[in-house]
Structure 1
């Protein structure tokens, strides 16, 4: 498809005071935009699609087009499709991997998708020697789903149990059982006792089989995206964003379809880069990856567990390209310097487990915590030694400090890498020599190569089926959820970092005590929440009544490597609620279509008590200082009545009382009360 858009504006100002001639101003554009789409199935399972957009401008002579030559010039430019100002395309290949065609693997569904984009931006018309900008991306996405039920059904006994479970939910008509009439005086017939041993054995085997079939579904996805931005690119865009000059495809088919090989040296060799002494161009490489895994477990009837793990990592590397033909060190690059001020920034997030340190209480008087003490006194020394042993440039342990602690050359207990490893080890119980050795073999920041740990949600609905509880409760649901995430929200490469023999060799010029870390990691944060730790929802046999009970717990730990402080924010909350539904409440004074208003009145009350506290823990001297905290009591009540099918009215009264735990703030209370009316539009 094509889109032609021409605008023309001519302005002439006339002088009414004298006969001075004024100049005519013209403002005109002639855009010729085109788009292309191609879809082709390479096979039944491999599908390809390609979309492209080309923005062009039809160049016109200056002023009014009123001569034959000028009109011919415009006509020729239209036939030539104009001068391209921007080009972009996207290509995708989707592959449904036929692994499920193998009979033993038919429970697996797998897909792969490769996507690429390419963009060419023209330089400004006013600075025609500046160079264009080319940009590309590629993405590789893998997805796998495992329906474990299909795998279990390959075993006849398991298939029989699964069919029994599926049929359990179906309702069959109950046929009356006709018992024969017996003569009560006939006592000669004796009934033999039933043998229940076989039935118990069958139930035991069934429970064992269900435990074996605990895992129901599993899904895994991984997506990696890479990109390159190269400014100062001379060649034009002709076909698919490429130029055919000098017998070279510029920038070449691999680049326009997402290849991430470094193109700078090839571009300099082929004369594709604009050689300007006073222009500095920023070359950019980007990388992002996402990993997600989920699993559904049902070890027992009415017990459902969902596991999920995720990890995200991104970095952005930039360097400046300058043209310095007089610098002999640039001769190999045809006069260009490619590594001006290299800079790498990024972020990292990963699900983890900090359950083991979540219930360590603080001392009532000193506010100290055993986990923090382990981090400060034990883990720092441990990882200083591990890092020293891993680095061939370190001479090992130094003389003991006056307080009896020990440091290692280049790795004191205040060194950044020591702090980060020790912090993660103390609060997550992960790490060790293998982790440090693995991280030392990659140029990525520490811990980013680690696998994520699963978080979970648990729900059990089986208590409502216990005979002793059926007399009181119609339904009982118990749930629990856990989530913990480790974040490095921002890291940057350290320009002072130097390496020799596979390890750091340059020491901090400020104190000449610690090796300079490869990356500056100012903050490491762990966010943990039990939301809820436990929650009980009750439905009473007595009509209309319901209740709920909930305990929540959360904390946020933040390590600041700059000021040597661990900030800990904790929260504990208790929620108790009750509800009652007045069935078919009739309001005789209000009539709808001649009939008294009749609907359910829903009453709800919730009381929550929450305690928050913030403690600053100083690493150097172990001082623990409360800096904030409050006890919050909240009462929420409401009554909702359905007036019409699409209209309800709600009365509410909420009161929140905030009592601070530190003397720097004062108590507050807030009350909200009112009426809300809700209209629902649509069917």
Structure 2
């Protein structure tokens, strides 16, 4: 059965068949490891020149460990009333699933205000009342003076997690799933459109012209584990919240527009133009101190290129005159990368910028084929960083040089 994927419990079978030692001091743990991985890929061609790649994924890993022993009488025989005993069972693992956060991607969020974070704060009371009603409690009981029902205060993990997901995915707190795990992965995508080249105006002026867009978002639980103090859920912890069966150290939401938009074109006169905007953010909610860490990034790139055809010059190598004729490729890239790290306190109006920088860059490269296998390259790379906090100093990095590259292939 195990060979064909059976997940049936074999502990009792092993004990009843005498496969387990009767030695009472034996302390090696019983362990089950289970992993599930779902990856979905699809390609759509709805229009000529339009290519859409869809992807979705769900991955989980779970390990269960416990001490499992056979109880015996004083004479060494197996105890009839309760022969098998499970001790200190513990489950731990991780989880990730693709999701969509695009509904809050462009909402205002800086050190002064954040629409999504304010919504997160408001969602907590709605979620707490839903949990109280589901439990059969009176949602109007006020345990902390702020309207939160008994057992589901503002710091309860069961309240914070769905409130966080609803706020940053743009969902409704009245309908969001209350559990931590999600069953159905949401699609991410890559889109590329080259159909403009079918138009006469573009065909006359460009060798190629494409528009691209990509989106990735994931919801991740880095680690979850059994709450060993959980005894059915009726007991309270030190903060007067109901204990939860699982504990989470933190949960994360990540989002990348890679790119948000990208224009790549080459004109008939050999001028190449690239314009690209990338956008990303990462959110990490810690349940240890109820802090939200938010990292935002934007990157802008403008690239220019030009090919000078048939540059010819003569050389003398080993006394022999040789004429070299090849194209000279010139490329320059201007870039700006902006990122900032914010710490947000749930119950304090005290958002702090803890890290961040603006990175300005200019890159220039040129290459020339000296032969079929030998290429000469000249490069220059200038980067300047300006930091968001006063304790970090600006940095400038300059690289430049000349490279000869030989290809041993055909």
- Say whether the fold is shared (TM-score over 0.5): yes
* Per-residue deviation, residues 469-522 of structure 1 (Å, max 9, x unmatched): 3443222111000111110011101011122xxxx32211x23x1011111111
Distance of 1:319 and 1:682 partners within structure 2:
58
Contact 1:281 1:322 in 2 (8 A): no
Structure-2 residue corresponding to 1:379: 123
Contact 1:269 1:334 in 2 (8 A): no
CA apart distance, 1:353: 0.5
* Per-residue deviation, residues 59-99 of structure 1 (Å, max 9, x unmatched): xxxxxxxxxxxxxxxxxxxxxxxxxxxxxxxxxxxxxxxxx
Alignment equivalent of 2:248, drawn from 521, 546, 552: 521
- Residues 352 and 516 of structure 1: CA distance in aligned 2, closer, same or farther (over 3 Å): same
- Residues 637 and 271 of structure 1: CA distance in aligned 2, closer, same or farther (over 3 Å): same
Partner SS state of residue 281, structure 1: coil
Structure-1 residue corresponding to 2:231: 498
Contact 2:99 2:185 in 1 (8 A): yes
Distance of 2:157 and 2:133 partners within structure 1:
16
Distance of 2:257 and 2:4 partners within structure 1:
46
Distance of 2:172 and 2:20 partners within structure 1:
46
Contact 2:314 2:321 in 1 (8 A): no
Q: Would you say 1:463 and 2:196 are equivalent positions?
A: yes
CA apart distance, 1:326: 4.5
Contact 2:166 2:176 in 1 (8 A): no
Q: How does 1:145-544 map to 2 (within 5 A)?
A: 254-255=1-2, 259-326=6-73, 331-332=79-80, 335-337=83-85, 339-362=86-109, 367-376=112-121, 378-392=122-136, 394-399=137-142, 405-430=146-171, 436=177, 446-499=179-232, 504-508=233-237, 510-511=238-239, 513-542=240-269, 544=270
TM-score by length of structure 1 reads 0.57
Distance of 1:334 and 1:582 partners within structure 2:
87
Partner SS state of residue 682, structure 1: coil
Contact 1:367 1:625 in 2 (8 A): no
* Per-residue deviation, residues 1-57 of structure 1 (Å, max 9, x unmatched): xxxxxxxxxxxxxxxxxxxxxxxxxxxxxxxxxxxxxxxxxxxxxxxxxxxxxxxxx
CA apart distance, 1:282: 1.1
Q: Would you say 1:582 and 2:298 are equivalent positions?
A: no
CA apart distance, 1:321: 2.6
Distance of 2:65 and 2:316 partners within structure 1:
71
Q: Would you say 1:598 and 2:339 are equivalent positions?
A: no
- Residues 539 and 452 of structure 1: CA distance in aligned 2, closer, same or farther (over 3 Å): same
CA apart distance, 1:368: 1.5
- Residues 407 and 678 of structure 1: CA distance in aligned 2, closer, same or farther (over 3 Å): same
Partner SS state of residue 272, structure 1: coil
Q: CA RMSD in A?
A: 2.3
Contact 1:296 1:304 in 2 (8 A): yes
* Per-residue deviation, residues 646-671 of structure 1 (Å, max 9, x unmatched): 33222111011001122121111101
* Per-residue deviation, residues 272-297 of structure 1 (Å, max 9, x unmatched): 11222332121111111111222222
Contact 1:424 1:431 in 2 (8 A): no
Partner SS state of residue 571, structure 1: strand
Distance of 1:292 and 1:255 partners within structure 2:
23
Contact 2:58 2:98 in 1 (8 A): yes
Contact 2:257 2:280 in 1 (8 A): yes
- Which 5+ residue runs of structure 2 have no aligned equivalent? none
Contact 2:142 2:150 in 1 (8 A): no
Structure (1/2) with the larger helix percentage? 1
Contact 1:655 1:669 in 2 (8 A): yes
Contact 2:94 2:223 in 1 (8 A): yes
Distance of 1:435 and 1:558 partners within structure 2:
19
- Residues 316 and 400 of structure 1: CA distance in aligned 2, closer, same or farther (over 3 Å): closer
Partner SS state of residue 100, structure 2: coil
Which has the bigger relative contact order, CA under 8 A and spacing at least 6?
2
TM-score by length of structure 2 reads 0.92
Partner SS state of residue 603, structure 1: strand
Partner SS state of residue 268, structure 1: helix
- Residues 589 and 311 of structure 1: CA distance in aligned 2, closer, same or farther (over 3 Å): same
Aligned pair count? 407
Q: How does 1:581-660 map to 2 (within 5 A)?
A: 581-589=307-315, 595-660=322-387
Contact 2:306 2:329 in 1 (8 A): yes
- Which 5+ residue runs of structure 1 have no aligned equivalent? 1-253, 440-445
CA apart distance, 1:314: 1.3
Distance of 1:268 and 1:284 partners within structure 2:
15
Alignment equivalent of 1:559, drawn from 267, 272, 285: 285
